[in-house]
Structure 1
Amino acid sequence: MDIRIGITHGGRELNVEIDDDAAADAAAALEAALSGDESVLWLNDRSGRRVGVPIDKLAFLELGPTGDRRIGFAAD
């Protein structure tokens, strides 16, 4: 599953790929952070790295299935 994170005053977005079974944990971590329980949203990616985003810098967060990433032009 892909998570796309927008950061305020940032020109780029963060893209984090997590395991499909960790999506519920990611959503719960976001809800806990937004409710004021946490000040940093921590996510674990597929490689085992941890990504931390300060909640006050969070512009948006998009959860979705891992898409087909094509580079260049492709005929369907």
Structure 2
Amino acid sequence: MEVKIGVQHAPRELLIESGEDQETVEKQVVEALASDGQVLALTDSKGRRIVVPGNRIAYVEIGGGVSGNVGFR
């Protein structure tokens, strides 16, 4: 699943390919936004850990990802 995270005062968004389901990611985002000192920590499909301060998250887009779009159509 593809997760896009917009961070305040950052020119680019973070794009993560996660192996977790949508409900789990959404729950982690809500928890990070709910408390002031909390961080959003996600693990991507390659095992890398991404940590974003919850108070710096501008937006989170959780989607299914795009597969199989290679070449011309």
TM-score interval w.r.t. the shorter chain?
0.7 to 0.9
CA shift, 1:12, in A, is 0.6
Tell me the equivalent position of 2:3: 3
Which 5+ residue runs of structure 1 have no aligned equivalent? Answer: none
* Shift in alpha-carbon separation, 1:38–1:30, aligned structure 2, 3 A: farther
TM-score normalised according to structure 1 size: 0.80
Q: CA deviation at 1:37?
A: 7.1
Between 37-46 and 51-60, report the one with greater CA deviation.
Answer: 37-46
In structure 1, how many angstroms separate the alpha carbons of the residues matched to 2:7 and 2:62?
15
Q: 1:30 Cα deviation (Å)?
A: 0.8
Q: Judge conservation of contact 2:4–2:60 (CA < 8 Å) in 1.
A: yes
Matches within 5 A, 1:1-76: 1-19=1-19, 21-36=20-35, 39-68=38-67, 70=69, 74=72, 76=73
Under a length normalisation based on structure 2, what TM-score does the superposition of the two structures give? 0.83
Identity %: 32
Which letter does structure 2 place at the counterpart of 1:28?
K
Q: Which has the larger radius of gyration?
A: 1
Quote the RMSD (CA, aligned, Å).
2.0
5+ long unaligned stretches in structure 2: none
